[in-house]
Amino acid sequence: MTKVIAISNPKGGVGKTTTAINLAASLAIAEQRVLIIDADPAGAVAAGLGLLPETIRGGIFEIFSGSARLSEIIHPAGYLDVDLIPANIFSSQQEIRIWEMAKNRIRLKNFLSGYLYSGKLPYDYILIDTPPSLSDLTIGALLAADSVLIPLQCGFYALNSIGQLLEMIERIRKSANPELRVERIFLTFFEKGTRASHISEQSARRDFLHLLSGAVIPKNAAIGYAAFEHKPVALVDIAAPGAQAYFELAKEIINNHRLPFPVG
């Protein structure tokens, strides 16, 4: 059964898009079929995968406008078993329109439900990258998801943002999506030996112990370098601490869903 996971945090710069790209690659290396849906109008996932704007035939805009054809909106990443529905927002007019259309918060849920039911989306995991806000686009992703994966950047302000998101998840769970749960909260930009990272880890353990992942994503130059290469870090330096951390996160998620994980 396909698992739909929204990657969300209302704070920007915490590693949502980086996680979407690198977690998808790690899951694919573990022989899972993965679709990324970029629901952030910034459209960074396509750039991170090396897709040029002129090669993008369609994407999230068509889902919300009701004119989506799978053959036009799904784009292969070009490596592993990863596909992408990009955020094909290339003008200010399109961005204004997508925010207007996103007021229909169940549009994405209805799209996924219809195609998953018909078997036309043959994926093990669908990862939804969300905007850095609790906007209609984010809420729509939460309505469509089975669970929420929350990257927590080491630092005081990032900790504050988690409470708002957890409150929103609880409201959605009670009102519209009773199966929604937190997949995991996991630390990003972790620097061993620094006071900020130590305090962030201790605070996360105190406040979110039952939700906290054992995987910790380090502040790692290889992740940044891989982004410049438009590839996941595992395809640039599989031994890098960042690559290994995303393998650990993928392993934990697969184990959550009781599937085998063949990567050692």
- In the numeric block, the tokens 């945090």 are attached to 9
Q: What is the pLDDT of residues 109-124, one digit of tens each?
A: 999 999 998 888 999 9
- In the numeric block, the tokens 């704070």 are attached to 11
Does residue 127 lie within any of the structural domains? Answer: yes
Whole-number pLDDT of residue 261: 46
Please report, as a single letter, which amino acid is at residue 160: N
Does residue 30 lie within any of the structural domains? Answer: yes
Q: Among 45-49, 86-90, 158-162, 240-244, which stretch is predicted with the lowest mean pLDDT?
A: 158-162
Whole-number pLDDT of residue 21: 98
Q: Taking a C-beta distance cutoff of 8 angstroms, is the pair 251, 257 a contact? A: no
Does residue 261 lie within any of the structural domains? Answer: no
Does residue 77 lie within any of the structural domains? Answer: yes
Confidence of residue 33 (pLDDT cuts 50, 70, 90): very high
Q: Among 20-29, 126-135, 231-240, 255-264, which stretch is predicted with the lowest mean pLDDT?
A: 255-264
Q: Report the predicted TM-score, pTM, of the whole model to 2 decimal places.
A: 0.94
* Percent of all residues in the chain with a pLDDT value above 90, rounded to a whole number: 83
Does residue 204 lie within any of the structural domains? Answer: yes
Is the pLDDT reported for residue 160 higher than 90? no
Tell me the C-alpha distance between 87 and 46, whole Å. 8
Whole-number pLDDT of residue 264: 39
Q: What is the pLDDT of residues 42-89, one digit of tens each?
A: 999 999 999 988 999 999 999 999 998 999 999 999 888 899 999 999
Q: Which of 220, 147, 223 is nearest to 185 (CA)?
A: 147
Does residue 262 lie within any of the structural domains? Answer: no
Report the CATH number at residue 112: 3.40.50.300
**Number of domains the chain is built from:** 1
- Provide the domain limits for residue 38: 3-256
Does residue 264 lie within any of the structural domains? Answer: no
Q: Got the DSSP string for the chain?
A: --EEEEE--SSSSSSHHHHHHHHHHHHHHTT--EEEEE-STT-HHHHHTT--GGG----HHHHHHT---HHHH-EE-SSTTEEEE-----SHHHHHHHHHHTTSTTHHHHHHHHHHHTT----SEEEEE--SSSSHHHHHHHHH-SEEEEEEESSHHHHHHHHHHHHHHHHHHHHT-TT-EEEEEEEEEE-TT-HHHHHHHHHHHHHHGGGEEEEEEE--HHHHHHHHTTS-GGGT-TTSHHHHHHHHHHHHHHHHTT------
Does residue 207 lie within any of the structural domains? Answer: yes
Confidence of residue 263 (pLDDT cuts 50, 70, 90): very low
